[in-house]
């Protein structure tokens, strides 16, 4: 477990219903080399099989007295 950085904590504390502070991304995949369309369930299964490679994507926030911390679990 580690404490959030100042920047991460700022995003957390400043976010509200009228001021979203989250960040998103868009990925484009070229399926032109596939014989058939890629099923969404196949794509999800592939992502799940690769989550162990980037532990950051499995982290959760855990509130502890007087602070916030990352918690992988």
pLDDT tens, residue by residue, 21-62: 888 899 888 888 889 888 999 989 999 999 999 988 888 888
pLDDT bin (cut points 50, 70, 90) of residue 71 is low
CA dihedral 66, 57, 15, 62 (to 10 degrees): -20
**pTM of the predicted structure, to 2 decimals:** 0.53
CB 73 within 8 A of CB 8: no
pLDDT given at position 67: 63
């Amino acid at each position: 477990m580690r404490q959030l950085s100042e920047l991460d904590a700022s995003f957390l504390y400043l976010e509200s219903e009228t001021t979203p502070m989250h960040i998103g991304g868009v990925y484009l995949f070229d399926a032109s080399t596939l014989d058939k369309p890629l099923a969404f369930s196949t794509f999800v299964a592939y992502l799940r099989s690769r989550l162990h490679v980037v532990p950051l994507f499995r982290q959760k926030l855990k509130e502890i007295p007087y602070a916030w911390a990352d918690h992988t679990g």
